[in-house]
Structure 1
Amino acid sequence: MQDKAMQGMSRARLERVEQFLDATYVASGKLPGALVQVWRRGEVVLNSVLGMADRERQTPLAEDSIFRIYSMTKPITSVAIMMLVEECKIALDDPVSKYIPSWENLGVYAGGYMESFQTRPAKRQMLVVDLLRHTSGLTYGFQQNSNVDAAYRKLKIADRTTEGTTLDDMVEQLSKLPLEFSPGEAWNYSVSTDVLGYLVGKVSGMPFETFVKQRILDPLGMVDTAFHVPEDKISRFCACYAVGVLGSKVVSQDRPTLQDDPRTSPYLKPPTLVSGGGGLVSTAADYLRFSRMLLQGGELDGVRLLGPKTLALMTANHLPGGQDIPRLSRSMFSEATYDGVGFGLGFATTVTPASTLMPGSAGDFFWGGAASTFFWVDPQEDLIGVFLTQLLPSSAFPVRRQLRTLVYSAITEPGPAARGRGA
C-alpha cells in the first residue's frame, strides 16, 4: 500500500511519533503525558495528545491543557526587547548600566563567599546583547558550580515563590553580587532574560507583564498564555512531576489546588516577581501561534511584531568568535548540549548540522523549558515542532533529540532551500 503524504511528509512515519512517545514514555510511566504538534507548509500535520494531565486525579491530557513552559518564556521576552530595539528605545550595544546605574562597576568573582566576596574589575561593561545571548557573567542558583551560584540560591534570586520580591528587588540584589566572568568571555545559562524583562519595563514605561500582554500575547491571539492561571482555567492546568532521587519513580511536584488538595501552586495568583526567564504558562495552540510568527519573519495573520531582518539577526549565531555553546560554555546546565549549536538573541541556533549528529537544518532555532517542554522552528523546511509535557528536570530523558529524529525522518519532500544543500 502506498504511503500517503501530507505537506511533503509521510503519514505512516508521522504516526511513528505518537507510537514511540506512547510506548517509550507515557505507557511506561516516564512521562505523565505528552502533547506534540508539527506544522509544515501551512497546516498542522501531526496533533498527538497522550496520557494524563494529572495522574492522581486521572485527568486526561487535552489539546487545550495549560502547561508551565518555564524557559520557553525566554524567546517571548527576547521578542519584547527586540521590538523596543526596532523602535530605537534601546540598542544591543548599550551598556546595561545605562538603564541600571548601580551595575556600572560590577566586579568579577576572584574568591571568597557571599559575606566576603573578593572581586577584580571586569574587562568591559555588560551590554544588552550579553543578556540576550547569555554572555553577561550572570548565573542561575541551580547551577551549583560556584560560590556565586550558592549566593544566588541563598538570596533566592529570580525565585517567583518568594512572597513580595519584585524585579526591582532582584536587580538590587544582583548589584551586590560579583559576575562569574567578564561579559563576553563565556556562555553561562543565567537570569539574564529576567533582567531583560526588567529592561522592557524600564524602557517601555509600562510593567513588563503589561507590555507582553498588550504588545505580544493579545495581538497574536495567545489567549491562554499568562504569568498565572486564572480561576476559571484551573481545571485545564496540568500537574507537574519530577524524577525522584537517583532516577527513582516520578513523583508529584506541583499540582493545581482543588477542593481535595490543600496545597497551593504558585501559579494560581499573579506573581510579585514576573519572570521573563521562566514565568509563563501556555498551551500548544498558543505557542504554535508564537512559533508561526517567528517562522514567517515576525508576522502572523496581518499582525507584525518584528521585521524579517530583525528575525534574521536574532537567529544568527552571536557567540563570540562564532563558537558553539559546548566550546564557550561554563554552564553546568543548558537546554541545548549539542556540538554545532550556537546561540542567537533569545534561542539556540544550529550552525553546523553535521556536528549535532541529528537531522536538521542550518539556521533552525529552538529552546526548551525545565519541565521537558521544547519547540523548534526550521525555516528551510517550513517546519515547526511544539512538544509539551510536565516533568522536571528536562535532562531526565533524551526525548527532544528522539522527537526531532522522528519528525525529520517523516519528511519525503525537502524544502526548496534544503533540497540543493543537503542540510
Structure 2
Amino acid sequence: MDAIEKALGAVVAAGELAGAVGLVWRDGAARAYPVGWRDIEAGLQMARDSIFRIASMSKPIVSAAAMTMLQEGRFALEDPISRVAPEFLAMRVLRDPDGALDDTTPADRQITFEDLLTHRAGLTQAGFRTGPIDAAHREALGPDLDSPLSPDAWIAGLAALPLVGQPGAAFTYGRSTDLLGLLLARMEGAPLEAVLRHRVFEPLGMTDTGFAVPADQRHRRAGLYGFDMAGKLKKLAAPPGDVALPERPGDLAFASGGAGLWSTVDDYLAFARMFVDPSVKLLSPETRALMTTNRLTDHQRLGAEMFGMPTFGTGSGFGLGVAVTLDPATAPVMRGKGGVGTVAWPGAYGGWWQADPTNGSVAILLMHNMLELEQLTAGYGLGGYGAIMEFHALATA
C-alpha cells in the first residue's frame, strides 16, 4: 500500500476520520488517494470525485477573481471600498475590541481593497471575539454561510457595525473576503457565483465547484462528519454552529465568498496549478507575483493570532488572499510549508493545500472534520490535523 494511503487509512481505522481524498501533482502528473468512507452508514466508499465543503479554501478563489479585475484596471489596491460601497464611508472603531459597542473612535482612514485582500480591514466575525461585538455580528448578519439577507442588506448590516481595529493596522481574520466577494458581484452586476464562474471556474475547467451541489450530483457529496461529546464520529445534517442550512435553497441570494464553496481535489488542483504552472494564464506573471508577495509587516505577522494561537509565526506571511512561505525551516504546515514563495490557505472543515513554485508541486487534502470549538479545545478531532501533518510530510518528501 502507498505510504500516503496507509497513513490516512490508519486515521480512518482509528475512528478519528470518516474519510479523505488526497492529491499530489508533480512533474505534470497527478495521483489521488481516496481513503475511507463518503458515507459510513450507507457503506459508500470515498472516491476521487467526492465533493466537499472547502470552507476558507474558498478565500483564495475569490481573491483570485478579484485579481483578474485588478489586472483589468477595474480597481486599484489603494482605492477605498466606499467607491463601490458608500456604506463604508465613515466607519467607527471599538476602543476595546471586546468592549461596549458605543465606545468607539472614528477610523483613521477608509478601508481599501488591499485591506480586504490582506485581512487588515478591522473586520471580525461571529465566534471570533468574546465581547458584545460577537453577538452583534450574529444578529446583524445571520448565519455565516446561508444568511437570509440580500447582498445589499448584508453589506449595510456589516457597515453598521464598528470595526475591531483601525484599517491597515493588523491582520484581523473575519468577514473581509465575504465582503470582497459581494463587492465584486456589485461591480459586475451579477451574483457572486456567476462572477466566479466567468472569471475562475470556466477558464480553469472547474466543473464541480460552487455554492451548492446540483441535485443530480449530490450522491457524490462527502458526508458531514464531526464528533459527539464522547469523541465518537457522528454524521451531521449541517456544519456545526448553525452557520448553514442542511440544504441551501436555490433562491438564496447571499453567498459566502469567505467559506461557502464546495469543490473536489481535481477542481482545486486546476486552481492551485496557476501558482506553479506558467501554462495556466488566468493571471499575468506580474499579477501572480503581486498576489504571492508578503504584504504584512513583521509586527503584523508576529502579532497575528486566531483563537489565542499564532497565525503565522516567524516563517510565513500573507499576500493578497494567500499565505506565503518566507522561511521554509519555520513556516507552519497549516499555512503552507515548502520552498520560499509556497502559497496556501486551509479550511476549517479539514481541507488543506499548498502550491510550491520552487519544485512545481501541488498537494491537496480534503476531508470533513467538523468540530465545535469546545470539542477542539477538549482534544477531539486532532486525528484530522495529524493526518494533514503526515500527508504534508509524505507528499513533499
In the TM superposition, residue 59 of structure 1 has moved relative to its aligned partner by 1.5
Select which of 267, 271, 276 maps to 2:257.
276
- Post-superposition Cα deviations, 1:97-123, rounded to whole Å, max 9, x if no partner, equal 121112111111125989952210122
Q: Give the structure-1-normalised TM-score.
A: 0.83
Gaps of 5+ in 2: none
SS in structure 2 at match of 1:143: coil
SS in structure 1 at match of 2:317: strand
1:201 counterpart residue number = 185
Query: Which residue type is aligned with residue 32 of structure 1?
Result: A
User: Equivalents in 1 of 2:191, 2:235: separation in Å?
Assistant: 33
Q: Give the structure-2-normalised TM-score.
A: 0.88
Gaps of 5+ in 1: 1-11, 257-262, 410-423
SS in structure 1 at match of 2:33: strand
Aligned residues: 380
2:317 is equivalent to residue 342 of structure 1? yes
User: Cα gap change, 1:206/1:364 in structure 2, threshold over 3 Å: closer, same or farther?
Assistant: same
2:365 is equivalent to residue 379 of structure 1? no
User: Equivalents in 1 of 2:70, 2:277: separation in Å?
Assistant: 19
- Post-superposition Cα deviations, 1:354-393, rounded to whole Å, max 9, x if no partner, equal 2237662111010111210111000001110010111114
User: Cα gap change, 1:248/1:214 in structure 2, threshold over 3 Å: closer, same or farther?
Assistant: same
Deviates more, 1:69-78 or 1:138-147: 138-147
2:23 counterpart residue number = 37
2:54, 2:259 within 8 Å by CA — same for their partners in 1?
yes
1:364, 1:379 within 8 Å by CA — same for their partners in 2?
yes
In the TM superposition, residue 206 of structure 1 has moved relative to its aligned partner by 2.5
Write out aligned runs for 1:151-190 (5 A): 151-157=136-142, 159-163=144-148, 165-190=149-174
1:252 counterpart residue number = 235
2:94, 2:101 within 8 Å by CA — same for their partners in 1?
no
1:37, 1:284 within 8 Å by CA — same for their partners in 2?
yes
The list of structure 1 runs, each at least 4 consecutive aligned residues, that deviate by more than 6 angstroms after superposition, is 112-115
1:331 counterpart residue number = 306
- Post-superposition Cα deviations, 1:139-169, rounded to whole Å, max 9, x if no partner, equal 1112134332231123345623333x12212
1:417 counterpart residue number = none
User: Equivalents in 1 of 2:143, 2:58: separation in Å?
Assistant: 14
In the TM superposition, residue 278 of structure 1 has moved relative to its aligned partner by 1.0
CA RMSD of aligned residues (A): 2.6
2:32 counterpart residue number = 47
1:314 counterpart residue number = 291
User: Equivalents in 1 of 2:324, 2:112: separation in Å?
Assistant: 21
- Post-superposition Cα deviations, 1:31-55, rounded to whole Å, max 9, x if no partner, equal 11011000011111x3211111111
Query: Which residue type is aligned with residue 20 of structure 1?
Result: A
2:312, 2:331 within 8 Å by CA — same for their partners in 1?
no
User: Cα gap change, 1:111/1:219 in structure 2, threshold over 3 Å: closer, same or farther?
Assistant: closer
User: Cα gap change, 1:353/1:323 in structure 2, threshold over 3 Å: closer, same or farther?
Assistant: farther
Deviates more, 1:62-71 or 1:140-149: 140-149
SS in structure 1 at match of 2:234: strand
1:135, 1:188 within 8 Å by CA — same for their partners in 2?
yes
- For the pair shown, the structure with the greater C-alpha radius of gyration is 1
Query: Which residue type is aligned with residue 390 of structure 2?
Result: Q
1:400 counterpart residue number = 388
Could you tell me the percent identity over the aligned residues?
Answer: 34
SS in structure 2 at match of 1:21: helix
